[in-house]
Amino acid sequence: MNLKTRRLLFLFFAAVFIIVSAYLVLTAQGMVLDLKHLQIVKTGGLFLKHSPADAEIRLNGKKTSGSSGLFETGSLIRNLSPGEYEIEVSKPGFRPWRKTLSVKSGLITSVSQIKLWPVTPETEKINEKTENFYLTEKGLIFRDEENKLLFNNEVILRGNDILLGGPNSKFVVTKDNNNFFLFDLDDPSSATNLSQLFNSLKQRQLLLQGVVPIKKVLFHPFTPQKILISTQNSLYALDFKKLSLERLAFSEKIDDFAVSGSEVVLWDGENLNVINLLLKIRSSYPLVGPKNLNLIVGRGGRIIFLNESYKLYLYNRNAATSTLLDDGVFTAVLSPEEKRLAIAKTDGSLQVLYLDDYQSDIEYKVFTKNIILPAGDENKLENVTWLPKTNHFIGLRGGNLWVTELDTRDGLNAEDIAEDVANYAISGNDLYFLKAGEVLKTSL
């Protein structure tokens, strides 16, 4: 081999060494050659968090897997060239999740709320021959075909409807004709006639004569043995353990009231009245326009109301002004953290309104609206509930139990998980629903 050949070989291998070394250095720094645009770009990545955790991930049809950090439960797929990726997360027996998302140079695209729903959910039959059911802290109350209320299918409760209760309370209030009954489910065979007790205490302790009907009852926000009671023109707090009654407010009329943290918000037809239950201070805020309205309040003191014209407003206490959020509204539900509002409209559409700046996989600015369902009679929801752990909605739609994610990038993954459902309720990770007279239970 002559000198010229040796020099050429040396230069060739030197060039290869330099190119390979440069490639390895660039790769280590997350850089790749973009052949489409003939330029070096920084790679991006995908972070996917999904349930079930053992689901399979495919990118552009090819099976892939990612790494997980010490405290992470998701999959981080690194060193992806910028561009669009068709993502599929699947597992046998579950409905697949699909979405096409963009990976950008130097950034991680996050999808942290992927939920796969079973094709055929495993259900447990809890009861049959049931017209309706209610959740409590101590078990279920069923209303049977004879309109009787049965606690855990054993004790018959007085009344034919549940007015107050919930999965976090052992107390329930029922109603039969004009009488309200209070039950402590630790002793469900004993009922307190709340109507009689209220009127008796009103006359004996407050010296207010006459028998008046109860309009509405709510639990006291921080004293479990107290019930808030409204009549035509007064609001009371009844302590059913100490057998005492306190008058909190008087007005010419009381149309509605709601509990917000340590406050009660009361609508009297002209003013929004806010009563601080700790300081016993009442503040009034004039409200011109609506005659009838439904109050939607949160723990943090935010006041939202829906008037008789189906217009939804946010009330600003400091400025004593109302901001129109939307019209044609059928119902609205605050999210658990109270930064988002689900708005179901009379035209069948469903949207999420962000009441504050909100950061999840996507950053939303205050008053951003995200359309979940377009208008249309086939879309109309009977009700809607937030599923905070999976960032989904669940609701009754066309008689079916329907769930949808809230990530609107490249459309929605939404499913009917049960058909011909009359009612549903959620307690923790358990979903109960009424179908063809049977109460069924499944896991979320």
Complete DSSP assignment for 326-366: ESSEEEEEE-TTSSEEEEEETTS-EEEEESS-EESSSEE-T
The reported pLDDT for the residue numbered 389 is 78
Residue at 246: amino acid letter: E
- Coil, strand or helix: which one is 4? helix
Burial of residue 312 (number of CB atoms within 10 Å: 0-12, 13-18, 19+): buried
Query: 162: which 2 tokens?
Result: 């549940």
Residue 215: count other Cβ atoms within 10 Å of its Cβ.
16
What does the CA dihedral 226, 231, 235, 237 come to, rounded to 10 degrees? -20
Pairing of strands 108-115, 44-51: parallel
Integer CA distances (angstroms), 220 to 182, 261, 262, 305, 336, in order? 14, 10, 9, 21, 19
Among 271, 268, 339, 331, smallest CA distance to 299 is for 339
| Confidence (pLDDT) at 287 | 82
pLDDT at 70: 44
Q: What is the pLDDT of residue 74?
A: 82
| pLDDT < 70 positions in the chain | 1-41, 67-72, 289-290
* Residue 171 exposed, middle or buried by CB count within 10 Å (0-12, 13-18, 19+): buried
Residue 31 contacts residue 23 (beta carbons within 8 Å): no
Residue 311: which of 296, 329, 299, 333 has the closest Cα?
329
439, exposed or middle or buried, with CB in 10 Å at 0-12, 13-18, 19+? buried
Q: Are 157 and 165 in contact (CB under 8 A)?
A: no
- CATH number given to 190-327: 2.130.10.10
Cα separations (Å) of 208 from 192, 201, 254, 280, 356? 21, 9, 18, 21, 45
Dihedral (Cα; 256, 259, 265, 267), 10-degree rounding: 0
pLDDT of 7 reads 63
Using the CB atoms, write b or e for 236-252: b if 16+ within 10 Å: bbbebeeeebeebbebe
CATH class held by domain 43-115: mainly beta
Helices (H) and strands (E) in the chain, counts: 2, 43
